[in-house]
Structure 1
Amino acid sequence: MPDLILHHYPMSPFAEKARLMLGFKGLAWKSVFIPSVMPKPDVVALTGGYRRTPLLQIGADIYCDTALIATVLEHLKPPFAGPPQERQHPLGGPGEARVGGEVPVLFPEHLKGVTRIVAQWADSALFWAAMGHTLSPKGAAAMFGSQPPEVGQAFAADRSAMRNGMTGLRAGDAASAYRSYLRRLAHMLHEQPFLFGDTPCIADFAAYHPLWFTRVVNPAMAGILDATPGVLAWMDRMAALGHGQPAKFTSTEAIAVAAAAEPAPLADEAFQDDHGIPLGSRVTVAAESFGPETTEGTLLAATRTHYTLERTDERAGRVHVHFPRIGYVLKEVRA
């Protein structure tokens, strides 16, 4: 199996979600720091346009969005015990064998539906409430006050462009929602260490990262967490999972890895045609809301869970760029 390469930056909340999932799985990975604001030429060389953080690269395969990255990591160390078995490519195709044994799972079999639903809520409603509070005018002043004015101005302009007309919560409304959501998490944690029992699952990682941003990245705004001590104790347990085994890597090295590799074969999964766009068409994929940049390529797969586009870059070579279906818009490129 080629190295796992995570493209991220330290203060990114969604990157913290990915870093902790790598730690939970006990995985070794290459750490590539990328800019927090545009331009991001090395990122775009791999994705073709998508610029949200983080990205997971495996050879010449680029996985966008932590919802899909979680699925990929789950398949890399699948839950089974017994004799060695052939491991599948994260989205299909042959993989390597690994010795049987119990492995931490992100998606418990009997809770797959409800944990995904809670994770989707946490990555959206909870995330935006947390950001609205933590990056309120008061929060932004605390976070960027000690830096040159142009740093905060560049960050604000970049995120404003990414919102692309989204209606944001006002600071007071965000704080109200955030407090309510924290109480709901506290109720879920009553008499159990994690949201759905004795071990973390995808819902924990999705709920943790917006709170981490408040507590760790902008602690001046972290007083809102004090009313839910059970949530703070849970955050300590999550932080203790660590980040696995990262090793420093550069964007240049990562692009060279992609250029030297071939995308992994895709599984023969059913084509779910909800758009009337046949495979082999020239298409674009973009996020529904936050981060409007598009990736253009040839549609190779449109399964019930994900899209795969093939594209060629003069530096990265031929790559496959993968997106989850939920939260992304597929359009045909017409001449």
Structure 2
Amino acid sequence: MPQPIILHHYDFSPFSEKVRLAFGLKGMEWHAVDVPVAMPKADLMPLTGGYRRAPVMQIGADVYCDTLLILREIERRRPEPSLYPGGRHGLAHALGYWVERTTFVPAAALATSVIGDQLPTEFIEERKTFMNHDFSKEASLRERPLNLQRLHAHLSWLAQMLEGGRPFLLGDRPSAADLAAYHTIWFARKNGGPTVEAALPLGPLLGWMDRVAALGHGTRREMPAGEALDIAKAAEPEAPGVPADGDPSGLRAGQEVVVSADDRGRDPIRGALVAADAEEVVIRHENGRVGAVHIHFPRAGFEVLAA
């Protein structure tokens, strides 16, 4: 019997919305494990070796971190309908990488300029340290003019991609690029309400956003965190789909390595290198609650160094 697809996420998370929409595009069934919005995350750390960002996808004893890699793995396991129509993987990855890196923090801060005083104090304080950004309402209001400048510039490019009646960014079919471009704007609109609606040039994007939202989230089943950990402990990691010694910098399988994000929230994740190539790295991590798991990371956005 195939292992269930488990998403460790929280509903408030914009990056989790990106993955939920991928499940909707493919009409998939998946299991939802809710994680706290801030540390401690006692039921997630055993699986991830210390990686705290949401979402994380688990399939048996394999754990996939970062939405860039999560979407690629979903595509590998369920090729149709494709997240990369016409085989345009590189274009979708590059477009998504650009738009998330440039719009996530400004969009989130625009939302917190409205709702920042409603967020838990522990959330605000953790993000100051983890992301080196103050999402309090007071700080977000101070930065609002600059964030509006930043978002207007990039949203205008998205609008240009949709000119001439193009329904989605890459053509007639939705793709991973649409999901990446959508979720940061979704977060700002959902939480900023009419204030954000009035401040951003959303008119040319609204029809496109409606089409992306209509993909839905597939079939969601709730799962307790303990059950997900038990599934990992009872399973064996799958054979990696990347070569053991394909690391472009010369790292070798079996070597102890440290993986960390290259932008913010650089928590080190330690383990033994299992496999690697130009796009993915897999490490082995062991914990008493889950046994041995393979943790997968994309290369873009992460650094891998010998321990």
Whole-angstrom distance in 2 between the partners of 1:129 and 1:165:
11
User: Which range is displaced more, 62-71 or 178-187?
Assistant: 178-187
Match of 2:115 among 143, 158, 174: 143
Whole-angstrom distance in 1 between the partners of 2:132 and 2:204:
36
AA in 1 matched with 2:227: E
CA RMSD of aligned residues (A): 2.0
Q: Given the superposition, is the C-alpha separation of residues 315 and 300 from structure 1 closer, same or farther in structure 2, using an over 3 Å criterion?
A: same
Post-superposition CA distance 1:87-133 (Å, at most 9, x none): xxxxxxxxxxxxxxxx2111123533222211111121122231232
1:134 has 2:115 as partner: no
Q: Secondary structure at the match of 2:88?
A: helix
Q: Given the superposition, is the C-alpha separation of residues 159 and 239 from structure 1 closer, same or farther in structure 2, using an over 3 Å criterion?
A: same
1:308 has 2:282 as partner: yes
Q: Secondary structure at the match of 1:300?
A: strand
1:179 has 2:168 as partner: no
Q: Which has the higher helix share?
A: 2
Whole-angstrom distance in 2 between the partners of 1:270 and 1:108:
29
Whole-angstrom distance in 2 between the partners of 1:273 and 1:29:
32
Alignment of 1:1-335 (within 5 A): 1-78=2-79, 103-135=80-112, 139=113, 142-145=114-117, 147=118, 151-164=119-132, 170-190=143-163, 191-224=165-198, 227-267=201-241, 269=243, 271-333=245-307
The answer to whether the Cα contact below 8 Å between 1:133 and 1:172 also exists between their aligned partners in 2 is no
TM-score when normalising by structure 2? 0.92
Whole-angstrom distance in 1 between the partners of 2:89 and 2:303:
24
Q: Secondary structure at the match of 1:41?
A: coil
* % identical equivalent positions: 38
The answer to whether the Cα contact below 8 Å between 2:6 and 2:59 also exists between their aligned partners in 1 is yes
Post-superposition CA distance 1:17-38 (Å, at most 9, x none): 0000011011100010000001
Post-superposition CA distance 1:18-64 (Å, at most 9, x none): 00001101110001000000111111010010000000000000000
The answer to whether the Cα contact below 8 Å between 2:283 and 2:294 also exists between their aligned partners in 1 is yes
Whole-angstrom distance in 2 between the partners of 1:172 and 1:152:
25
Structure 1 residues not aligned, in runs of 5+:
79-102
AA in 1 matched with 2:115: M
Aligned length: 299
Post-superposition CA distance 1:181-217 (Å, at most 9, x none): 2221111112111111111111100000001101113
Whole-angstrom distance in 1 between the partners of 2:167 and 2:292:
45
Structure 2 residues not aligned, in runs of 5+:
none
TM-score when normalising by structure 1? 0.84
Shift of the alpha carbon at 1:156? Answer: 1.3
User: Which range is displaced more, 296-305 or 203-212?
Assistant: 296-305
Whole-angstrom distance in 1 between the partners of 2:244 and 2:256:
19
User: Which range is displaced more, 181-190 or 26-35?
Assistant: 181-190
Q: Secondary structure at the match of 1:21?
A: helix
